[in-house]
A and B are shown apart, each in its own frame.
Chain A
Amino acid sequence: AQSVTQLDSHVSVSEGTPVLLRCNYSSSYSPSLFWYVQHPNKGLQLLLKYTSAATLVKGINGFEAEFKKSETSFHLTKPSAHMSDAAEYFCVVSEPGAGKSTFGDGTTLTVKP
Chain B
Amino acid sequence: DTAVSQTPKYLVTQMGNDKSIKCEQNLGHDTMYWYKQDSKKFLKIMFSYNNKELIINETVPNRFSPKSPDKAHLNLHINSLELGDSAVYFCASTGRVGDSPLHFGNGTRLTVT
Binding site for B on A (CB under 8 A): 32, 34, 36, 38, 41-46, 49, 51, 88, 90, 92, 94-101, 103, 105-106, 108
The answer to whether A43 and B43 touch across the interface, beta carbons within 8 angstroms, is no
Q: Is the interface of A mostly helix, strand, loop or mixed?
A: strand
**Among candidates B40, B56, B104, residue contacting A45 with C-beta atoms closer than 8 Å:** B104
Q: Which residues of A contact B98 (CB under 8 A)?
A: 32, 94-98
Q: Which of B97, B98, B107: most chain A CB closer than 10 A?
A: B98
Which residues does B use to contact A, with CB under 8 Å?
A: 4, 33, 40-45, 48, 55-56, 90, 92, 97-99, 101-107
B99 and A96 within 8 A (CB): yes
Instruction: Give which listed residue, B42, B56, B101, contacts A49 with CB less than 8 A.
Output: B101
In the complex, A112 Cα to B97 Cα: how many Å?
38
Residues of A contacting B97 with CB < 8 Å? 94, 98-100
Given contact pairs A42-B106, A45-B104, enumerate 17 new A-B contacts (beta carbons under 8 Å).
A36-B102, A38-B41, A43-B90, A43-B105, A44-B102, A44-B104, A46-B102, A92-B102, A94-B97, A96-B98, A99-B97, A100-B56, A101-B45, A103-B42, A105-B41, A106-B42, A108-B41
